[in-house]
Structure 1
Amino acid sequence: MSTFLTGIDHIQIASPPDSEDTARKFYGELLSMEEISKPPNLQGRGGCWFICGSQEVHIGIQKDFVAAKKAHPGFTVHALEELKLRLAEAGYAIHEEAPIDGRSRFFTNDPFGNRIEFLEFE
């Protein structure tokens, strides 16, 4: 059987209207993701894009925004404890979870209430 899928190009996380500056502070400054330019034909939609490893994270504006409470991206990191401290110092609640398959992890919510997971392979 041949497979058509070869990987993940990007994920999209929804945010409320006029939230680009808040997204830049959280994803860009706090999480240290580099912002990348959106293609010219998509710039009028709002939102902002970031690079995370070899994948992209697209923050998309959603008019009738509702935060994702169960669905979530899982970002792999190094220095998980440092990131946890950085987020806590910035006022984000940390939700501890049991490790799975040799991965330490925790959850937080982005400024819009979306669930976000961070994992570090042991």
Structure 2
Amino acid sequence: MSVDVTAGHHFGGLHHVQLAVPPGGEDRCRRFWGDVLGMTELRKPPVLAARGGCWFRGGDLEVHLGVERDFAPARKAHPGILVRSLGSLAARLEECGHEVTWDGEFPGHDRFYTRDPFGNRLEFLEPHPAS
């Protein structure tokens, strides 16, 4: 956990990332985040489950997919998700029909972009090994 001494508070990483999805998109979320990416679906608290959407966990990352009535995909804004075995993930996405666009412009990392089934932009990156 990093400490910002000047501000007097601490940031410890992210608990979750939330992305918007259209109404009725839960089954497509389950296929992408669960079946393709291999994340585990979490049970939402009942009061939140009534709103629709679904939550997933992979490693220390949670992704919350929330229903937005007037949905528009996030084409620029995106989560940057750290992974190990980036090439393996890219191959899995491509074999499941998802386009992967590699981008070598982030210092110290390999990375690519893809989109979820609704067009939300996703970035996956892996740090280069320490020399």
Common fold: TM-score over 0.5: yes
Alignment gaps of 5+ in structure 2: 1-5
Aligned to 1:70: 76
Aligned to 2:62: 56
Find the aligned partners of 1:102 and 1:110 in 2 and give their Cα distance: 25
Identity of counterpart residues, as a percentage?
48
Aligned to 1:33: 39
Give the TM-score of the pair, scaled to structure 2. 0.87
Find the aligned partners of 2:72 and 2:47 in 1 and give their Cα distance: 26
Find the aligned partners of 1:59 and 1:119 in 2 and give their Cα distance: 21
SS in 2 for 1:21: helix
How many angstroms does 1:101 deviate by?
2.6
How many angstroms does 1:78 deviate by?
1.3
Alignment gaps of 5+ in structure 1: none
Partner amino acid, structure 2, of 1:50: F
Q: Is the 8 A contact 2:100 2:114 kept in 1?
A: yes
Structure 1 counterpart of 2:14, from 8, 28, 37: 8
Computing the radius of gyration over CA atoms, which structure comes out larger, 1 or 2? 2
Shift in alpha-carbon separation, 1:37–1:6, aligned structure 2, 3 A: same
- Aligned structure 1 segments of 4 or more residues deviating by more than 3 angstroms: none
